[in-house]
Amino acid sequence: MDAQKRNPRRVLLTHALDPMDLAKLEVLGHEILVVNDANGGATLKELLEAKAAPTKKPLPLEKVVIFNGYSEADLKQGVLAIRESFPVRPIIAAVTDHSYLWSFEFLLTEHLIADRDWNLRNAAEYQNNLQKEKAARADGASAASSVEG
């Protein structure tokens, strides 16, 4: 899909945020489109055009913020602001040429949650490997110093 044909509306598509989280986004100057079971069966394109379709199953209660129509610089700034001001970090994403024609329900259940879980697992594994490497280097350094001494 040609990126020029996407709806340029600058808006945050949100799901499962509490009223305080929504208020924070409004104070930051964002337009908000709340997605729920009544409209989450629609594609992102349809949601941006104010069209709705109910979901097939209830949406998982995962906090989600999806940026649409933001420049790269504004996107980075928005992500940082959310990470700094939300006590429980939501899943944060941006509308892409691929996801634009996906239903919100499909995007959330088949991609965003799975991607978040994969990243969390790999981040934990990466940290564990770093700790092991540091310990191995420390053991090697102490063994070398005891041989020299």
Q: Could you report the per-residue pLDDT of 131-144, keeping only the tens digit for each?
A: 888 888 888 776 66
Q: Could you report the per-residue pLDDT of 82-107, keeping only the tens digit for each?
A: 999 999 999 999 999 999 999 999 99
Taken as a whole, the chain contains a residue count of 149
Instruction: Point out which residues pair with 71 in neighbouring strands.
Output: none
Confidence at 3, pLDDT banded by 50, 70, 90: very low
Residue 148 has pLDDT above 80, yes or no: no
**Residue 11 vs residue 129, higher pLDDT:** 11
What's the rounded mean pLDDT across residues 117-128?
Answer: 85
**Can you say whether residue 63 is alpha, beta or left, with left for phi > 0 and alpha for psi between -120 and 50 degrees?**
beta
